């Protein structure tokens, strides 16, 4: 008999308990519906939860009211990343729609009209959004003011529209086009200015992998990337002709450099002639051999066929596109040994250093002040500084 009673209790008590729980749950669900929302236990922000009783889960309406009135703290806007490449994307030289239209005739009348109209619309949308952001961030630079969460959401949505338009432009012009490259950099830096979290989500997932793979554990440091003097001494001004002491110092640095092979990519035949002459005079290290290339296609064909150089100097902007994509091709082909240095008429503070680093570029040398007699001084100084940083930090290349 006792066993029978015990069995009945074991069967009925769970059912009764479930019924009571369901009864109370029903009240909570109804309370949630009365508050105008389908019920789900919300994640309560810490500042909202202050003052709630330990049994707050019983009073969903109180929670909903607090959430409804919750206002996130104002968001600070930083223009530091936006200013990093400002000189590159202040004005973007996109191909004019009318010029493109003439080039599209080979696609047929109907198809060329479709591409032309889409390109024209995408270009207008992108430039309109860019103009609004440039004005907004220009004001923020001189009069910083926090923005609300809703304003940040609106700005992020605008950037998503700009990114969509830019994708359409890229399909027509190609990603190696300087305007596309600089515009992509602009979008990324504006994202970082208004929402670091959004920027991390927007950035390609492979970027962290690229950094690890392309640089094999090297951590980005802007001073090291710009090949500043490791002893803290200021870099020689590229606008001034090197004096006798600076030339003598560079000659001493050249004697310390190892013999190696160096490739120069530049579409200026005069600079390529200077580079060959500097190499023969031993300014880049005794026994160093110099090869020169006047187009990306020639260099890429050469290095992807198995030829390896110890160092490659890339001129940033060429007639056939941006040379940074040579670094992409090089690393994608598995070459992790060649040091890639980029030179440009940009001054160090104008260089989008972190973006170039993510492409697999190892350092930057300004070409301002290049002359046949002393243009080698800055290059030799940069090569020397790279070797010092390499020994200090244990870089693998």
Residues 236 and 385 in one domain: yes
Answer whether residue 72 is part of any domain: no
Planar angle of CA 158, 187, 322, nearest 5 degrees: 145
Answer whether residue 313 is part of any domain: yes
Planar angle of CA 328, 330, 332, nearest 5 degrees: 65
Q: pTM score, two decimals?
A: 0.64
Residues 236 and 121 in one domain: no
Answer whether residue 294 is part of any domain: yes
Q: Residue 68's pLDDT is what? A: 62
Residues 177 and 227 in one domain: no
Residues 187 and 219 in one domain: no
CA–CA dist 104, 109 (Å, integer): 8
Taking CA atoms, 194 is separated from 77, 148, 181, 241, 356, in Å, by 5, 11, 21, 42, 22
Residues 85 and 167 in one domain: yes
pLDDT tens digit at each of 397 positions of the chain: 444 444 444 444 444 444 444 444 444 344 444 444 444 445 555 545 555 555 545 555 665 665 566 566 777 888 877 887 788 888 888 988 888 887 777 667 788 888 889 999 999 999 999 999 999 999 988 888 888 888 988 998 999 999 999 999 988 888 778 888 899 889 988 988 887 655 554 444 444 434 445 667 788 899 999 999 998 877 777 667 888 898 999 999 999 999 999 999 999 999 999 999 999 999 999 999 999 999 988 998 888 888 899 999 999 888 777 888 888 888 888 888 999 999 988 888 788 888 888 888 999 998 887 788 889 999 999 999 999 999 999 988 8
Q: Read off the tokens for 293.
A: 């290339």
Q: Residue 19's pLDDT is what? A: 45
Per the DSSP assignment, residues forming a β-bridge with 263 are: 291, 312
Answer whether residue 64 is part of any domain: no
Element (H, E) at 196: helix 196-202
**Residue with tokens 């187009």, as numbered in its chain:** 295
Residues 159 and 260 in one domain: no
Q: Residue 77's pLDDT is what? A: 83
Sign of the Cα pseudo-torsion (188, 189, 192, 194, in order): negative
Answer whether residue 322 is part of any domain: yes
CA 280 to chain centroid, in Å, comes to 38
Answer whether residue 290 is part of any domain: yes
Residues 296 and 150 in one domain: no
Residues 194 and 217 in one domain: no
Residues 124 and 153 in one domain: yes
Beta carbons within 8 Å of 340's beta carbon, 6+ residues apart: 311, 312, 314, 326, 327, 330, 360, 361, 362
Answer whether residue 14 is part of any domain: no
Residues 219 and 292 in one domain: yes
A 10 A CB-CB count for 55 gives: 7
CATH number for the domain that contains residue 345:
3.40.50.2300
Beta carbons within 8 Å of 388's beta carbon, 6+ residues apart: 230
Residues 256 and 349 in one domain: yes
* The domain boundary residue, chosen from 169, 203, 237: 203
* The domain boundary residue, chosen from 180, 203, 226: 203
Q: In a 3-state reduction of DSSP, which class is residue 2?
A: helix
CA–CA dist 191, 197 (Å, integer): 9
394 near 256, Cβ under 8 Å? no
Q: Residue 169's pLDDT is what? A: 92
Beta carbons within 8 Å of 89's beta carbon, 6+ residues apart: 182, 183, 185, 186
Answer whether residue 70 is part of any domain: no
Tell me the residue range of the domain where 220 lies.
208-393
The total domain count for the chain is 2
Q: Residue 17's pLDDT is what? A: 40
322 near 181, Cβ under 8 Å? yes
Residues 134 and 110 in one domain: yes
* The domain boundary residue, chosen from 203, 233, 261: 203
CA–CA dist 368, 344 (Å, integer): 7
């Amino acid at each position: 008999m006792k066993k029978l009673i015990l069995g009945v209790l074991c069967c009925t008590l769970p059912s009764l308990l479930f019924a009571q729980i369901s009864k109370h749950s029903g009240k909570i669900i109804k309370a949630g519906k009365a508050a105008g929302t389908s019920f789900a236990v919300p994640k309560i922000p810490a500042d909202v939860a202050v003052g709630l009783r330990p049994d707050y889960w019983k009073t969903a309406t109180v929670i909903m009211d607090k959430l409804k009135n919750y206002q996130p703290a104002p968001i600070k806007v930083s223009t530091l990343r936006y200013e990093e490449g400002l000189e590159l994307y202040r004005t973007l030289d996109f191909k004019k729609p009318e010029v493109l239209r003439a080039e599209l005739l080979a696609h047929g009348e109907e198809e060329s009209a479709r591409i032309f109209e889409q390109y024209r619309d995408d270009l207008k949308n992108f430039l309109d959004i860019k103009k609004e952001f440039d004005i907004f961030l220009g004001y923020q630079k001189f009069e910083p003011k926090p923005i609300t969460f809703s304003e940040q959401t609106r700005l992020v949505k605008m950037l998503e529209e700009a990114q969509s338009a830019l994708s359409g432009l890229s399909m027509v012009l190609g990603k190696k086009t300087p305007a596309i490259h600089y515009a992509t950099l602009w979008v990324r830096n504006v994202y970082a200015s208004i929402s670091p979290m959004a920027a991390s989500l927007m950035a390609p997932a492979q970027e962290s992998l690229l950094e690890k793979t392309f640089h094999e554990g090297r951590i980005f440091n802007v001073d090291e990337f710009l090949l500043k003097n490791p002893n803290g001494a200021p870099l020689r001004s590229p606008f001034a002709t090197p004096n006798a002491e600076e030339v003598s110092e560079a000659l001493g640095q050249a004697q310390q450099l190892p013999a190696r092979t160096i490739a120069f990519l530049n579409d200026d035949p005069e600079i390529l002639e200077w580079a060959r002459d500097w190499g023969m005079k031993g300014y880049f290290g005794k026994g160093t051999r110099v090869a020169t290339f006047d187009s990306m296609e020639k260099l890429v064909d050469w290095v992807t066929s198995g030829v390896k150089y110890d160092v490659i100097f890339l001129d940033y902007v060429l007639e056939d596109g941006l040379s940074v994509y040579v670094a992409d091709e090089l690393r994608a082909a598995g070459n992790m040994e060649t040091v890639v240095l980029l030179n440009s008429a940009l001054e160090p503070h104008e260089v989008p250093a972190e973006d170039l680093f993510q492409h697999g570029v190892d350092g930057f040398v300004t070409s301002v002040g290049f002359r046949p007699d002393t243009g080698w001084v800055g290059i030799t100084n940069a090569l020397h500084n790279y070797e010092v940083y390499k020994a200090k930090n244990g870089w693998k290349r």
